[in-house]
């Protein structure tokens, strides 16, 4: 009896497990699932982790897809620029399934098939976009003239537009250049062009420096000329004022030369004593000979 009971329990457990396998499916956190009824999607994608009910095959079938970002790297491709130079370019991309209900009928759930379609889009967009740019946008002596970001954005926009137009259920997450190479046949030509561009930049800088130096030199010469002219004008004015003053007092001095001589010596003494200095002098030397006539009891004598 015990053996029969154990057999019944095991059989019941197996039946339950078999029923679960037939009627229940599980979705993991990194997955998205599509349930088809007679190979036609009949419900919205299951993108939340958990267990869900389904009818057993052949009525319904479950397709699961990885909804994480898929990394993809294009092959080395030779592309011609707008100025007919050859570039060897490698581009990397990251994409994910954005709508599993659209993705399934387009590719029958095959990620490699989707990747092949994406590779063809990448090749076409790469040729079209790079073909609109000159080589100087990719190889240039001046870093400011490089346009890597702009070209990457143009390629990404072109691919994303085609994906949306065809309802592939795919979204491009990122795209960028991994490697850009030049064929050996054009490498020396590119280097020569870069050298010439650098030489032009050097010449332009030198010319700008010379022009600026000439402007500064001209300004300095003009300022010096103005300063000299102002000084000459001031000297002429002072000389004129002095001559005018001399002309006014000259008749008086001519009438009384002794008075004029005396006043001049007094003015010289005032200038000598202006700084309150102690003087040691010879009383016989003008204008200090004035002290010879001072009384011996004069103050300060």
pLDDT in tens, 134-180: 888 887 777 888 888 999 999 999 999 999 999 898 999 999 988 88
Do 80 and 114 lie in one domain? The reply is yes
Q: Cis peptide leading into 258, omega within 30 of 0? A: no
Cα torsion angle, 160, 162, 163, 164, sign? positive
Q: What is the mean pLDDT of the segment spanning 59-78? A: 81
**31 and 60 Cβ atoms separated by less than 8 Å:** no
Do 280 and 249 lie in one domain? The reply is no
Domain boundary among 134, 164, 182: 182
Q: What percent of the chain is predicted at pLDDT more than 70?
A: 70
**103 and 95 Cβ atoms separated by less than 8 Å:** no
Do 90 and 139 lie in one domain? The reply is yes
Length of the chain: 301
Do 151 and 111 lie in one domain? The reply is yes
Do 48 and 102 lie in one domain? The reply is no
pLDDT (0 to 100) of residue 95? 92
Residue 170 sits in a domain of what CATH number? Answer: 3.30.479.30
Do 142 and 161 lie in one domain? The reply is yes
pLDDT in tens, 229-280: 888 888 888 877 777 776 676 676 666 676 666 666 677 666 666 666 665 6
Q: What is the mean pLDDT of the segment spanning 204-219? A: 85
φ, ψ dihedrals at 292, nearest 5°: -70, -25
Do 110 and 173 lie in one domain? The reply is yes
pLDDT (0 to 100) of residue 36? 77
Do 158 and 101 lie in one domain? The reply is yes
Residue 102: pLDDT over 70: yes
Do 171 and 214 lie in one domain? The reply is no
Domain boundary among 29, 48, 66: 66
pLDDT in tens, 9-45: 676 667 666 666 666 777 888 888 878 777 777 777 7
Please state, rounded to an integer, the average pLDDT across all residues of the chain. Answer: 78
Q: Are strands 86-97 and 77-80 parallel, antiparallel or unpaired?
A: antiparallel
Number of folded domains in the chain? 4
Q: What is the mean pLDDT of the segment spanning 67-74? A: 84
pLDDT (0 to 100) of residue 111? 85
Do 31 and 116 lie in one domain? The reply is no
Residue 63: pLDDT over 50: yes
Between 118 and 60, the more confident residue is: 118
Do 98 and 160 lie in one domain? The reply is yes
Q: What does the DSSP 8-state code read for residue 29?
A: T
Do 172 and 89 lie in one domain? The reply is yes
Residue range of the domain that includes 88:
70-182
């Amino acid at each position: 009896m015990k053996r029969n009971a154990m057999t019944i329990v095991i059989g019941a457990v197996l039946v339950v497990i078999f029923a679960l396998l037939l009627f229940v499916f599980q979705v993991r956190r990194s997955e998205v699932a599509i349930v088809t009824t007679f190979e036609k999607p009949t419900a919205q994608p299951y993108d939340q982790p958990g267990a869900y009910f389904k009818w057993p095959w052949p009525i319904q079938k479950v397709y699961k897809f990885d909804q994480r970002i898929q990394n993809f790297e294009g092959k080395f491709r030779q592309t011609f620029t707008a100025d007919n130079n050859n570039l060897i370019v490698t581009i990397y991309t990251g994409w994910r399934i954005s709508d599993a209900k659209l993705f399934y009928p387009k590719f029958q759930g095959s990620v490699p098939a989707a990747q092949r379609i994406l590779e063809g889009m990448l090749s076409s967009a790469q040729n079209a976009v790079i073909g609109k740019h000159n080589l100087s946008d990719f190889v240039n002596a001046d870093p400011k003239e490089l346009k890597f970001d702009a070209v990457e954005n143009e390629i990404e926009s072109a691919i994303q537009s085609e994906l949306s137009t065809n309802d592939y259920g795919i979204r491009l997450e990122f795209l960028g250049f991994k490697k850009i190479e030049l064929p050996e046949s054009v490498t020396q030509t590119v280097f020569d062009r870069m050298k010439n561009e650098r030489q032009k930049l050097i010449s332009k800088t030198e010319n700008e420096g010379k022009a600026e130096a000439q402007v500064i030199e001209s300004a300095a010469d003009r300022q010096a000329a103005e300063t000299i002219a102002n000084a000459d004008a001031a000297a002429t004015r002072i000389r004129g004022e002095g001559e005018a003053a001399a002309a006014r007092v000259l008749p008086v001095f001519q009438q009384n030369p002794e008075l004029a001589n005396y006043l001049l010596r007094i003015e010289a003494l005032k200038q000598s004593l202006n700084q309150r200095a102690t003087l040691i002098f010879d009383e016989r030397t003008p204008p200090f000979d004035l002290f010879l006539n001072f009384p011996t009891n004069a103050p300060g004598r």
